[in-house]
Amino acid sequence: FDLSVKVEKILEYLNKRLPSLGKKVELLNDIDPDIKINGNGSLLAWAIENIIRNGIDAIERDDGQISISLKQVNNIVKIQIHDNGIGIPKKDWKNIFRPGFSTKKSGWGLGLSLCQRIIKEVHKGKIYVLDSKINNGTVIELTIPNK
């Protein structure tokens, strides 16, 4: 399937929903066209949307921004989701992927653990915190092999 088209559709959907979330967040698109991969499109779309929604939740300012980058370098597809939210303390960079771990007042703490399973087990890829600074945002990176 064409992952570029799938990610663009996620952004269109979320852009329509942003006003109802009560957040002033701009979604920035840095998606290379025509990146086709073999995989489960529905699960991958859910995982990417979940990470973007976490970014939206982490933004507590009026000039919120989330940029989504999708590139293919050699046989690796890289997806970076960068928000300018509250950030993740370094000690929690690995914890956020543990089932039941959450810093939110509501929720089960299962979203990122499911994302990790979708990326690692279904698509043989990796998901991790590339960078995060308190009050300055977070970059989550997904890498998926694509031969």
User: Which residue type occupies 43?
Assistant: L
CA distance 84 to 2: 28
CA distance linking residue 61 with residue 43, whole number of Å:
30
Among the listed ranges 32-36, 59-63, 112-116, which one has the minimum average pLDDT value? 59-63
Report helix, strand or coil for 36. strand
In the chain, what percentage of residues exceed pLDDT 90?
A: 85
* Mean predicted lDDT score pLDDT of the chain: 94
pLDDT, position 145: 97
For residue 12, give the amino acid letter: E
Give residue 104's pLDDT band: very low, low, confident or very high (50, 70, 90): confident
pLDDT above 80 for 21: no
Which pLDDT band holds residue 24 (cuts at 50, 70, 90)? Answer: confident
- Give the model's confidence band at 47: pLDDT under 50 very low, under 70 low, under 90 confident, else very high: very high
Which of the four pLDDT bands, split at 50, 70 and 90, describes residue 66? very high
In one-letter notation, the amino acid at residue 99 is P
Confidence of residue 105 (pLDDT cuts 50, 70, 90): confident
Nearest one of 85, 78, 131, 80 to 104, comparing CA atoms: 85
For residues 114 and 51, the answer to whether their CB atoms sit within 8 Å is no
- The continuous run of DSSP H or E covering 115 comes out as helix 111-117
Q: Are 140 and 111 in contact (CB under 8 A)?
A: no
